[in-house]
Amino acid sequence: MTQRFYVTTPIYYVNGSPHIGHAYTSVVADALTRYHRMRGERARFLTGTDEHGQKIEREAVKAGVTPQAFVDDVSTRFRELWPKLGVQPDDFIRTTEPRHVEGVQKWWRKVRDAGDLYKGTYKGLYCVACEGYKTEKELLPGALCPIHERPVETLEEETWFFRLSKYQEPLLKLYAEHPEFVLPETRRNEIVSFVQGGLDDLSVSRSNFTWGIPVPDDPGHVIYVWFDALFNYLTAVDGTAEAEFWPPQIQLVAKDIVRFHAVYWPAFLMSAGFPREKLPTTVWTHGYLLSGGRKTSKTPGLTAVKTPGTTDPVRIADVLGADVLRFYLLREVGFGQDGEFSIPGIIGRARAELGETVGNLLHRALPFVGKYFEGKVPAARDEDLTDAERNLRTRIAALVTEVGAAWDTLAMHRALELTIEAARTANRYFDETAPWKLAKSEDRTRLGVVIAHVLEIVRVVAVMLSPVTPAKSDELLHQLGLDPVAPREDVDQWPLSWGGLAAHTVVRPGQPVFPKYDPATEAAMLLSLDVRDAEATPKSTPKTMSTEEKPAETAAAPVIAPAAPVAPAAEEASATIAYDDFAKVDLRVGKVLTAERIPRKDKLLKLSVDLGEASGPRTIIAGIALAFPVVEELVGQQVVVVANLAPRDFGKGLVSHGMLLAASSPESLSLATFPKAYAAGTRVK
Ligand code: ME8
């Protein structure tokens, strides 16, 4: 029987826009799904939005719209985000959908009929941001929620209770007999000691607001948002053709919500009559992405800290590419650990590992195919192999197995590290065999063997990367003359055997697959992602192709179009600054005297701008070239210049002495100006 794999993400609250933390869990789920499909399994990936509860109701009131209109809007933002990140869920469930509402009521009745619900009065300390009760000892000084650092509220109301206390022993038995139920181990230990400390019955209905699923047969109450939300994983498949996927193998959560998933959720399911084999296999808890040392978050108060750049995943993917972002998220942070998220870090990883290691391998080898083998992959006959190739194959085979094992244990960072190691191994082999020297011999046999081996390893690496960089992997395969990765049930496509790239395959060389970040492109990218004071990203590792080894002209142009440097987006500007801080920014009216393109820097313009200074006009380098096909149009234009910005060195003698203000969208860019003319140098306040 085909093995099946069901993975879920938390359903996200719709009280704010999606941010990089949500993207993280969803990218992991998507990559796991792609990996399992590639291995021939039937895989299903569920995500969605959590739309009920007091927190959402309050946000809707603040926004002056009905809760339904509010959740429709934000849920759409989540749904539309995923394709932009290459994330392809098989289902997207909303807790306001009838299938879910009816499902939750059905499971409520089951739990009630099992005798596990009773009515009483609850008095407790409630954090609306968590939608959860807190005990006094958990609180931070000042009666603040330890997660949200906001005051908790005292609630006293009539409520339905769930007999959680009854499940203390069954839960402890579950953790003991199935240690894989909560991973990693550190989280399991925390959960076990929490449950060992004793479980109070849980309040599972609310009567002081109405935005929720009505309690069956008790219309004055709505079902507690966590009872409602947790059942989404079941209501999405229950009673449908997809029911065969139940139970989920992997339920991904961050550590803030592990208790709900590892304690309440299995208790609800046990109460509803689910035996062990029908409980989820593993609740897998990952760490937090941090920005400026704090959890990236949409909760006001946490975003107010100064962050080194935007945390909006769409803006990042637009500028740097979805696959580059996905690679970084999975490669950078050990899965299960917290990790600092940084935009310069994304560029550094992409440069060193994707560009200079994987892309480089392909673009070093392909030109030899064109020049010496009529554009076809050369043959490598067994009798022509030396120890170098035999050792290489053994090493790659070992890595392929290890990478698979790392994926199977959700050690994605390790899987990617080893995948890159495969490409590095091939680069070393290339250096050692020096094909540019072999090409000097009349007999091309040895050259063919080397090039065939390097290209086969590009294939192996592309396939192993494809759960994470699906579009880029397909581009690599395309240039090798191969079809995109296309999973088929019961066919394991993990590159376990050597030789998937057959001799005589016609290659299709093209543009560099991974970006090459020259300093100007990189500076423009950082600026457009609001990175102002970023530390320099790790610079290029040693040169990747000597002129000697270059058999033919190879393209080396940047392939990512950076958004033009513009003023920071309003979105992140929620922290206020004192007037004195604003006054430090010296904004001046300028007049453009000349504007010219810069050879081989197709995004940049070199402007000479008059600010009425005795020292003469300033040179300003601006990433606006794409918006001005007729560059002369700029001459004579009145612009707004940040005049006291430290000079910025773009390399090759290009130094910018100021920045122009502009507004931009993906479609257009306009420079800030005034409807009337003012003398050059006039202060803008
Ligand atoms: O908790 N780092 O929704 P939510 C890593 N609706 N992951 C992060 C993150 C960060 N900084 N920030 C968010 C809820 N996440 C409930 C879930 S499920 C039945 C109900 C991810 O919008 C991570 O997966 O607060 C975390 O668990 C989830 O978003 C919380 O999303």
Q: Which atom of ligand 1 is nearest to the CA of 290?
A: 11
Pair 53, 190 in one domain: yes
Average pLDDT over residues 671-683: 88
Pair 577, 606 in one domain: yes
Pair 533, 617 in one domain: no
CA distance linking residue 249 with residue 255, whole number of Å: 18
CA distance linking residue 569 with residue 644, whole number of Å: 20
User: Which tens digits make up the pLDDT trace of 330-352?
Assistant: 999 999 999 999 999 999 999 99
* Domain harbouring 632, CATH code: 2.40.50.140
Taking the centre of ligand 1 as the mean of its atom positions, its distance from the CA of residue 167, in whole angstroms, is 26
Residue 254 in contact with ligand 1 by CB distance below 6 A: yes
Grouping H, G, I as helix, E, B as strand and the rest as coil, residue 222 is strand
* Domain harbouring 39, CATH code: 3.40.50.620
Closest to 468 (Cα-Cα) out of 324, 290, 604? 324
- Asked which of 472, 503, 537 is the last residue of a domain, the reply is 537
Residue 296 in contact with ligand 1 by CB distance below 6 A: yes
Q: Looking at ligand 1, which residue's alpha carbon is closest to its atom 8?
A: 21
- Asked which of 537, 556, 579 is the last residue of a domain, the reply is 537
pTM of the model: 0.79
The pLDDT value given to residue 565: 32
Closest to 153 (Cα-Cα) out of 61, 227, 54, 64? 54
Q: DSSP characters for 227-275?
A: HHHHTHHHHTTTTSGGGGGPSPSEEEEEGGGHHIIIIIHHHHHHHTT--
21, two tokens:
């933390």
User: Domain span at residue 683?
Assistant: 543-685
For the annotated catalytic residues, the residue numbers are 19, 22, 127, 130, 145, 148, 295, 298
Pair 518, 589 in one domain: no
Average pLDDT over residues 275-302: 80
Contacts of 294 (CB under 8 A, 6+ apart): 302, 305
Task: Report percent pLDDT > 90 for the chain.
Answer: 70
Pair 252, 393 in one domain: no
Give yes or no for a contact between 114 and 271, defined as CB atoms under 8 angstroms apart.
Answer: yes
The pLDDT value given to residue 132: 84
User: Which tens digits make up the pLDDT trace of 96-114?
Assistant: 999 999 999 999 999 999 9
Checking if the pLDDT of 242 tops 90, the result is yes
Task: Report percent pLDDT > 70 for the chain.
Answer: 91
CA 254 to chain centroid, in Å, comes to 14
* Domain harbouring 454, CATH code: 1.10.730.10
Pair 532, 554 in one domain: no
CA distance linking residue 516 with residue 556, whole number of Å: 7
**In-domain check, residue 328:** no
User: Which tens digits make up the pLDDT trace of 253-264?
Assistant: 999 999 999 999
DSSP class of residue 292 equals: T
- Asked which of 537, 564, 597 is the last residue of a domain, the reply is 537
User: Which tens digits make up the pLDDT trace of 388-420?
Assistant: 999 999 999 999 999 999 999 999 999 999 999
Closest to 664 (Cα-Cα) out of 552, 525, 568? 568
Grouping H, G, I as helix, E, B as strand and the rest as coil, residue 407 is helix
Closest to 684 (Cα-Cα) out of 607, 597, 588? 588
DSSP class of residue 445 equals: H
CA distance linking residue 22 with residue 54, whole number of Å: 21
CA distance linking residue 478 with residue 471, whole number of Å: 10
The pLDDT value given to residue 559: 32
Model confidence at 649, pLDDT cuts 50, 70, 90, reads: confident
**In-domain check, residue 327:** no
Residue 21 in contact with ligand 1 by CB distance below 6 A: yes
Give yes or no for a contact between 562 and 528, defined as CB atoms under 8 angstroms apart.
Answer: yes
Average pLDDT over residues 273-302: 81
User: Which tens digits make up the pLDDT trace of 13-42?
Assistant: 998 889 999 999 999 999 999 999 999 999
The pLDDT value given to residue 292: 74
DSSP class of residue 610 equals: E
Pair 442, 468 in one domain: yes
Mean pLDDT of the chain: 89
Average pLDDT over residues 210-232: 96
Kind plus residue range of the DSSP H or E element containing 126? strand 117-127
User: Which tens digits make up the pLDDT trace of 55-72?
Assistant: 899 999 999 999 999 999
**In-domain check, residue 205:** no
The pLDDT value given to residue 143: 87
User: Which tens digits make up the pLDDT trace of 170-216?
Assistant: 999 999 999 999 999 999 999 999 999 999 999 999 998 899 999 99
Pair 515, 604 in one domain: no
Taking the centre of ligand 1 as the mean of its atom positions, its distance from the CA of residue 29, in whole angstroms, is 13
Residue 294 in contact with ligand 1 by CB distance below 6 A: no
The pLDDT value given to residue 384: 97
Of 69-83, 266-280, 562-576, 648-662, the one with minimum mean pLDDT is 562-576
Taking the centre of ligand 1 as the mean of its atom positions, its distance from the CA of residue 476, in whole angstroms, is 34
Ligand 1 mutation pick, 59, 257, 264, max ligand atoms within 8 A of CB: 257
**In-domain check, residue 333:** no
Pair 377, 453 in one domain: yes
Residue 265 in contact with ligand 1 by CB distance below 6 A: no
Q: For every residue of 544-568, which 3-state class applies, written as one string?
A: CCCCCCCCCCCCCCCCCCCCCCCCC
Pair 529, 554 in one domain: no
CA distance linking residue 310 with residue 316, whole number of Å: 8
**In-domain check, residue 149:** no
CA distance linking residue 575 with residue 653, whole number of Å: 37
Residue showing tokens 């040895």: 446
Half-sphere exposure of 594 (CA within 13 A, CB side): 8
Residue 256 in contact with ligand 1 by CB distance below 6 A: yes
Give yes or no for a contact between 392 and 317, defined as CB atoms under 8 angstroms apart.
Answer: no
The pLDDT value given to residue 303: 36
Residue 482 in contact with ligand 1 by CB distance below 6 A: no
> In the chain, how many domains are there?
3
Give yes or no for a contact between 198 and 75, defined as CB atoms under 8 angstroms apart.
Answer: no
Taking the centre of ligand 1 as the mean of its atom positions, its distance from the CA of residue 20, in whole angstroms, is 10
Residue 227 in contact with ligand 1 by CB distance below 6 A: no
CA distance linking residue 47 with residue 123, whole number of Å: 33
Checking if the pLDDT of 161 tops 90, the result is yes
User: Which tens digits make up the pLDDT trace of 422-464?
Assistant: 999 999 999 999 999 999 999 999 999 999 999 999 999 999 9
Ligand 1 mutation pick, 22, 224, 297, max ligand atoms within 8 A of CB: 22
**In-domain check, residue 34:** yes
**In-domain check, residue 163:** no
Checking if the pLDDT of 594 tops 50, the result is yes
Q: Which amino acid would we find at residue 671?
A: L
Pair 172, 270 in one domain: yes
Model confidence at 88, pLDDT cuts 50, 70, 90, reads: very high
**In-domain check, residue 318:** no
Kind plus residue range of the DSSP H or E element containing 464? helix 445-465
Pair 15, 112 in one domain: yes
